Amino acid sequence: MPENHRLIEVQTIEPTRHGSLIEDELGAAGIHLVRVGAEGFDAPKTALSSKLGIGPDSSARNIFRQLGTKNRKHLLSAMIVARKTASATCKLEMSDDTVKKPGDIQWLRVHVRFDQSDAHARWTFVAVDISGEQLALENLKAEEEHLRHIVEYNPQLPWIADANGQIIDFTDRWLNSTGMSRNEAVGEGWLKKTHPDDIERVGGTISRCHKSGEPFDETIRLEVNGTYRWMRARGYPRRDENGNVVCWYGYTEDVHEKVLIDQQILWDAEHDSLTGLHNRAYFSTKLEKAIKAAPANLKKVALLLVDLDNFKQVNDLMGHVAGDDLIRKFAEALRAAAPADAAVARLGGDEFAILLNGLNEVSEAVEVAEAILRLQGNFDFGGRSVTYHASVGIGMFPEHGIDANQLLRHTDLALYKAKSNGRAQIQVFAKEMLDDMQERVAMVNRARTAAREGRILAYYQPKVCLRTRKLAGFEALLRWQDNLGKIHAPASIYAAFDEKTVAELLGKTMISHIFDDISSWKSQGLEFHQVAINASPVEMRQSDFVTRLTDEMKACDIAISEIEIEITEGVFIGTNADTSRKSIDQLHKAGIPLALDDFGTGYASLSHLRNLPVSTLKIDRSFVQDLADNTSDFAIVSAIIAMGKASGMKVVAEGIENKTQEDLLTDLGCDIGQGFLLGKPIPAHDVAWLIEHWEEYLERNVQPPKWAIDVPMRRANDAN
């Protein structure tokens, strides 16, 4: 500051009583007048002077010095400006080292006035305590910083839109991640980075919410750093006092991982993981919905149940990896064979379902089923090859089921029928299948009850050497007795032989009866030769069938030559066919003779025969029946006999009912005959009599007096 310059020399307000009153009021409001006389600072009375620690003797120079370098510089600059423009303002910050006792004053705004209207230059300084104001300003700044950091480090990306939903501003991070400039993104520019498939949806939601003023919440895909990511966009309106929306605040949140996980969870809940087809739960819901909607459209719904015929075989022979592979391959082919809008599901195992909507005729469903039937082919795995094919059951809504449950049950019956009809078949549900089913259930119940109540009996039908007419052995045949004591043949419980637990129970019961009977005949010294025992496919599929049989033989002291096991071709079909094959090999290893029953009726008889350790062939009754009149039956029978002989097998003819049949078979070289002509099945307790009176019985038609039930009656024309 130039020394010659008289800086502080003018007092603007006289210290009158009046003036001092004004000064006090101003002081209370934080405004202080600093009066400067020619002698120096005249301020002892003001509150400011005490706050600033300025004593009565303070000279202007002193005060000026006390302000500190920085404040002095500010004040001086203001004075230089004031000299030119008459007034100026500066802000001074009081600190410990500028004034002795700053008290609560931190900031002063000093208004400087310069007046040179007369000879003397006058300076007026008005100091206003702005500590409070400054503090508020600083707090505001801190608050702002605070918010800025919260926003900056928040994973959500905020934006602001005007009342019409046009975006006004995005945060820098929003712009950085999308790679858009603020100018590009504002308004509706951000839609350019939105996935095309989401634009319509999010656009609709936003315009709806802007109309209603409701907050919105949408999940969309936004292109971020070059790839689409799932974002949750939420917007909330801000309203004025009249309730009108002023603007919208919102944020976009990256929820990509969460959406992917949610999608995966949803996918898992609705799909089969092996094939990618829909699963049972999803399919059931779809079916229910289709059935609900169908009546209104006057259309039909078709349910197709598809089952791979020889899947179990692949699974068991080639292993689960191969099984899975076949399921996947078939699922793919099934999807391709079904119409694009059909729902295709894997219900479990090797069972699939197809839902066809909007049909007019059952023939449309049959057409699809025919395409599925054509899917059969070769499945190659690990150097092995298996042919696969499927069976299809069809059920239509409304005619075959009034609801999804019933339709499923009935279509299942149609599928069952298709499979039992010989596989690779299509069956449309028919009411008779229900009767069949009910009859099957009744059969199983009948058999189960009879077995539990000890009403299963073993009957024995003689087998005769055709050349000598001597007794060659017996076949054990199951009979059951009803509550009234009437004896029934297995026809009335036939389905029980297919039902695992009951079939096993029947088998065990029969073997126990047969072994008891054999032991008893042996103890009486009777020459019964051999008893043929029928084993159902279900029994042969038990892995411990042979062990249990041989254990029991040992326990009852039965020799291997005293029995023979009769199996049918059924053991090679269906589930666990390879376990049956193992049982066959075990029987062979144990030395137990094996007979192939009902020979000629199965479709692969000859191919099976080649690699089976079978010692006896039983020609089915159906061939024997018309032997005399039907030339093709005659040809078949003679071929079987010739082939059996050539392979060193014993050939048994079943169902010989008359002498002509017996003679023809004898001439053809058939070893053994069985049939009503030679003896009907009889109860165990009559076997002793039969053995002892065999020749009389056969030649002279002598019958035991006590045969009351199931008597082997000879027909009049067979009498001799």
Q: Where on the chain is the footprint of ligand C2E (CB under 6 A)?
A: 461, 476-478, 489-491, 497, 510, 534-536, 597-598, 621, 654-657, 674-676, 681
Q: Label the pairing between strands 672-673 and 650-653.
A: parallel
> Closest approach of Cβ 688 to ligand C2E, in Å?
20
Stretch that binds Ca ion, among 116-124, 225-233, 342-350, 534-542 (CB under 5 A): 534-542
Q: What are phi and psi of 313, to 5 degrees?
A: -60, -45
Question: Least distance (Å) from Ca ion to the CB of residue 654?
Answer: 5
Q: Which is nearer to ligand C2E, 489 or 688 (CB)?
A: 489
Q: Which of residues 650-669 bind Ca ion (CB under 5 A)?
A: 654
Which of ligand C2E, Ca ion, none has residue 365 at its interface (CB below 5 to 8 Å by kind)?
none
555 binds, among Ca ion, ligand C2E, none (CB under 5 to 8 A by kind): none
E-strand ranges in 360-454 read: 377-381, 384-388, 390-397, 426-428
Residue 534 as a binder of Ca ion (CB under 5 A): the answer is yes
CA–CA distance from 586 to each of 515, 583, 610, 668 (Å)? 20, 5, 18, 33
Q: Is the dihedral of CA 319, 325, 327, 330 positive or negative?
A: negative
- CA pair distance 9, 528, nearest whole angstrom: 153
The least distance separating Ca ion from the CB of residue 597, rounded to whole angstroms, comes to 4
Instruction: Give residue for tokens 């049989």.
Output: 549
Report the nearest approach of Ca ion to the CB of residue 588 (Å): 19
Partner whose binding site includes residue 478, from Ca ion, ligand C2E, none (CB under 5 to 8 Å by kind): ligand C2E
8 A C-beta contact, residue 551 and residue 544: no
Q: Measured from the CB of residue 666, what is the shortest distance to Ca ion in angstroms?
A: 20
With CB cut-offs between 5 and 8 Å by kind, which of ligand C2E, Ca ion, none does residue 491 bind?
ligand C2E
Report the residue number, 171 or 568, with the smaller CB distance to ligand C2E: 568
Give which of 206, 213, 210, 196 is closest to 252, Cα–Cα: 206
CB-nearer residue toward Ca ion: 355 or 477: 477
Give the torsion through C-alpha atoms of 101, 104, 109, 113, to 10 deg: -50
List, in order, residues 6 or more apart from 133 with CB less than 8 Å away.
Answer: 107
Q: Among residues 375 and 489, whose Cβ is nearest to ligand C2E? A: 489
Q: Which is nearer to Ca ion, 175 or 476 (CB)?
A: 476
Please, what is the minimum distance in Å from the beta carbon of residue 620 to ligand C2E?
A: 7
Between 654 and 671, whose beta carbon lies closer to ligand C2E? 654
> Residue 489's binding partner, choosing from Ca ion, ligand C2E, none, with beta-carbon cut-off 5 to 8 A by kind?
ligand C2E
Phi, psi of 19 (to 5 degrees): -60, -40
Q: What is the distance between the alpha carbons of residues 9 and 322, in angstroms, rounded to a whole number?
A: 110
In the bound state with ligand C2E, the residue whose beta carbon lies nearer, of 416 and 599, is: 599
End-to-end CA distance of the chain: 160
- Please report how close the Cβ of residue 657 comes to ligand C2E at its closest, in angstroms: 4
> Which residues face 474 on adjacent strands?
462, 531
Number of residues that bind Ca ion (CB under 5 A): 5
Q: Which stretch binds Ca ion (CB under 5 A): 89-97, 341-349, 421-429, 593-601?
A: 593-601
Q: Give how far Cα 474 sits from Cα of 49, 93, 167, 298, Å.
A: 138, 126, 97, 63
Closest among 117, 63, 119, 109 to 88, alpha carbons compared:
109
Would you say 412 or 718 has its CB closer to ligand C2E? 718
Q: Does 597 bind Ca ion (CB under 5 A)?
A: yes
Q: Is 431 exposed, middle or buried (0-12, 13-18, 19+ CB in 10 A)?
A: exposed
* Binder of Ca ion out of 598, 633, 662, 718 (CB under 5 A): 598
- Is 569 one of the binding residues for Ca ion (CB under 5 A)? no
Q: Which helix (H) or strand (E) holds 473?
A: strand 471-481
461 binds, among Ca ion, ligand C2E, none (CB under 5 to 8 A by kind): ligand C2E
Contact positions vs Ca ion (CB under 5 A): 534, 566, 597-598, 654
